[in-house]
């Protein structure tokens, strides 16, 4: 699907508390060398008092500031998350309240695991094509430390907390966005109410290296573009070895991929917008970027957007 959208601003928030690999060595049988060599992760962030909606709000405030607009101009808020702090109201409703939005605003959450932000971005991009909507906030926010079993070395080493947000409005034919999102039903990885994340790491790894490449090629084909037309690829930050395998298979330099997994680990739906926000701090000029996500469910998808 191609939708004319314009990205006006980006923002992110991460907790101050840093959990290093050496910290995890004290909790489970692992080592810094083992974690880094297999995942690329050196540290991750962990909430102390922050909730998912507070982090989403703080990331949104930064995105609005960088977009140089007021919250009164926002008509849609979509939050991608699997770690809401309550079942209802939605995290997006809390964000609207914290932003002190008084006018009518459509606000809701999306659960598509680690692909959630790409799903949410397509939803919001579709909605703002309607005349009654002006601008939308699209957010990914996770407090994954709240659903981690810190005796399970297969999962507790991987995940971190954080949030990222973008402000978008309807664009024109010069700034089209292209989207490809789908799923393949699989119940391997689960997060039940009141329990911890469970994951078959090997199965996810094999799934990911297949669908990441497929998603990239599919959205490029739909957009009638080549990989050379893309300035950078911002993938979901799950495992550095996954991206290295994809880069090798596609004969693409790792320099093409934007990675910050070493600092934050896997922040699920927050990872792409968080990485994008940091990317925009370094690249002020307009760039054409490709997002690619994959996650439990299994869900996967990609988008090409000018930022």
User: Is 111 one of the catalytic residues?
Assistant: no
The pTM of this model reads: 0.95
The pLDDT score that the predictor gives to residue 190 is 53
* The predicted structure's pLDDT at residue 118: 98
156 classed as catalytic: no
Residues 135-152 have pLDDT tens digits of: 999 999 999 999 999 999
CATH code of 1-307, in short, is: 3.40.47.10
pLDDT of residue 192: 54
Cα distance between residue 295 and residue 205, in whole Å: 10
| Residues of the chain by 3-state class (helix, strand, coil), percent to 5 | 40, 25, 35
Q: Which residues of the chain have pLDDT under 50?
A: none
Q: What is the pLDDT of residue 60?
A: 98
- Please identify which of the residues 12, 21, 236, 239 carries the catalytic annotation: 236
SS3 268: helix
**Contact partners, residue 169, CB within 8 Å, separation at least 6:** 5, 6, 8, 128, 134, 135, 136
Exactly one of 53, 114, 156, 239 is catalytic; name it: 114
Q: Write the CA distances from 106 to 51, 164, 304, integer angstroms.
A: 21, 19, 25
Task: Quote the pLDDT of residue 186.
Answer: 64
Q: What is the pLDDT of residue 205?
A: 87
The per-residue pLDDT for 189 is 56
Is-catalytic flag, 154?
A: no
Phi-psi label, residue 183: left if phi above 0, alpha if psi -120 to 50, beta otherwise: beta
Per-residue pLDDT of 4-32, as tens digits, reads 999 999 999 999 999 999 999 999 999 99
């Amino acid at each position: 699907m191609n939708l004319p959208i314009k990205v006006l601003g980006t923002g992110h928030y991460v907790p101050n508390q840093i959990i290093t690999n050496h910290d995890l060595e004290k909790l489970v049988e692992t080592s810094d060398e083992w974690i880094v060599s297999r995942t690329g992760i050196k540290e991750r962030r962990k909430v102390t008092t922050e909730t998912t909606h507070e982090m989403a709000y703080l990331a949104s405030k930064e995105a609005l500031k960088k977009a140089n607009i007021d919250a009164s101009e926002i008509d849609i808020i979509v939050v991608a998350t699997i770690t809401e702090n309550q079942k209802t109201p939605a995290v997006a409703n809390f964000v609207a309240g914290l932003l002190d939005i008084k006018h009518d605003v459509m606000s809701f959450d999306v659960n598509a695991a680690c692909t959630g932000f790409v799903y949410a971005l397509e939803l919001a991009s579709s909605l703002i094509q309607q005349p009654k909507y002006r601008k939308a906030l699209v957010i990914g926010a996770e407090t994954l430390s709240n659903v981690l079993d810190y005796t399970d070395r297969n999962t507790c080493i991987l995940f971190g907390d954080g949030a990222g947000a973008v402000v978008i409005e309807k664009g024109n034919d010069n700034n089209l966005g292209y989207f490809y999102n789908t799923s393949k039903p699989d119940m391997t990885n689960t997060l039940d109410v009141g329990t911890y994340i469970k994951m078959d790491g090997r199965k996810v790894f094999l799934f990911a290296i297949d669908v990441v490449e497929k998603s990239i090629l599919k959205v490029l084909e739909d957009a009638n573009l080549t990989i050379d037309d893309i300035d950078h690829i911002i993938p979901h930050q799950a495992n550095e070895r996954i991206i290295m395998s994809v880069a090798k298979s596609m004969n693409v330099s790792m320099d093409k991929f934007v990675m910050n997994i070493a600092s934050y680990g896997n922040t699920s739906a927050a990872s792409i917008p968080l990485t994008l926000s940091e990317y925009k701090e370094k690249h002020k000029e307009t760039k054409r970027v490709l997002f690619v996500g994959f996650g439990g469910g299994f869900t996967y998808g990609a988008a090409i957007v000018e930022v």
